[in-house]
């Protein structure tokens, strides 16, 4: 039998003591990164594990041994893998999961709230250093940037084929399909533009529109707009109507999990140049 060093023996003793000495961790194992966990269902042990920047499609809920802490009922969420804020936090928990895993984690409540930037004195309830939050997490899908880009390329190619788009993209990748000619000078940097727009996903679902509201009015070049939108309006004069197809790099890119725009989404905009001032 292989001999253990004194340091290894002390580490093992510490893990055993800390996992058994506190009743709130009873039945949990402790991983090398400090996470207390239970495996409820094993996924693919050779499958993907979360890497920094990956998008994690999870089903999660939590509850606490402290009845004052509000429960979080089970729901589907998208999170982004980040560095841990403290040893044994939820991102350390994600890091030991594989795609398809269903696990339960016990995380110190005070560390959890402090890591979220919440002062314990400001909470409407008290937390002791013994209180624990239990997270139930199913790792449904792990998506890398490459996964999204492949899906975007396939969806864009299908959209172009389905809609018989024959125009060539610009150097940036913008597809500009003019549907009505305008008159006068083209829009240029410094002009105040009045634009009607409708933004859609490739499946035709509208996510935003100025129609029925006030048209969008902005000074070109002095206000932040997505790159594809700025490029397109400079190809328009007053009265022009066009449909534009934007790769995600010209739209919202990786976006944010809480955004209504999914990460790496190609988008379609119907535009009308109402006025150029």
If you count DSSP H runs as helices and E runs as strands, how many of each does the chain have, helices first? 5, 14
Per-residue model confidence as pLDDT tens for the chain (277 residues): 333 332 232 233 333 333 334 788 999 999 999 999 999 999 999 999 999 999 999 999 999 999 888 899 999 999 999 999 999 999 999 999 999 999 999 999 999 888 888 888 888 888 888 899 999 999 999 999 999 999 999 999 999 999 999 999 999 999 999 999 999 999 999 999 999 999 999 999 999 999 999 999 999 999 889 999 999 999 999 999 999 999 999 999 988 777 889 899 999 999 999 999 9
Start-end of CATH 3.10.50.40 domains in the chain: 6-143, 145-276
Q: Is the pTM of this model over 0.85?
A: no
Q: Residue 76: left if φ>0, alpha if ψ -120 to 50, beta else—which one? A: beta
The architecture (CATH level 2) of 145-276 comes to Roll (3.10)
User: Under CATH, which number does the domain 6-143 receive?
Assistant: 3.10.50.40
Q: Catalytic positions, please?
A: 197, 207-208, 226, 252, 269
Distance from C-alpha of 277 to C-alpha of 272, rounded to nearest angstrom: 15
């Amino acid at each position: 039998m292989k001999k253990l060093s004194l340091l290894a023996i002390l580490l093992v003793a510490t893990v055993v003591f800390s996992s058994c000495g506190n009743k709130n961790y009873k039945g949990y194992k402790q991983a090398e990164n400090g996470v207390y966990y239970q495996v409820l269902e094993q996924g693919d042990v050779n499958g993907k594990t979360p890497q920094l920047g990956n998008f994690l499609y999870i089903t999660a809920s939590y509850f606490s041994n402290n009845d004052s802490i509000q429960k979080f009922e089970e729901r589907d969420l998208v999170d982004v893998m980040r560095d841990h804020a403290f040893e044994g936090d939820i991102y350390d928990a994600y890091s030991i999961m594989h795609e398809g895993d269903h696990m339960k984690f016990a995380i110190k409540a005070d560390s959890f709230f402090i890591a979220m930037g919440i002062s314990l004195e400001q909470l409407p309830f008290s937390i002791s250093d013994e209180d624990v939050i239990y997270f139930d997490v199913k790792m449904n899908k792990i998506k890398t940037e490459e996964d999204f880009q492949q899906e975007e390329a396939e969806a864009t190619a299908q959209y172009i084929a389905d809609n018989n788009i024959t125009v060539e993209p610009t150097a940036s990748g913008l597809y500009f399909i003019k549907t009505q000619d305008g008159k006068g000078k083209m829009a240029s940097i410094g002009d105040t533009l009045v634009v009607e727009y409708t933004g859609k996903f490739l499946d035709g679902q509208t996510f935003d529109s100025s129609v029925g509201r006030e048209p969008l009015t902005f000074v070109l070049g002095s206000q932040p707009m997505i790159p594809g939108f700025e490029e397109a309006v400079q190809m328009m004069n007053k009265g022009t109507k066009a449909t534009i197809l934007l790769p995600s790099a010209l739209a919202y890119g990786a976006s944010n999990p809480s955004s209504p725009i999914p990460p790496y989404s190609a988008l379609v905009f119907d535009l009308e140049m109402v006025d150029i001032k």
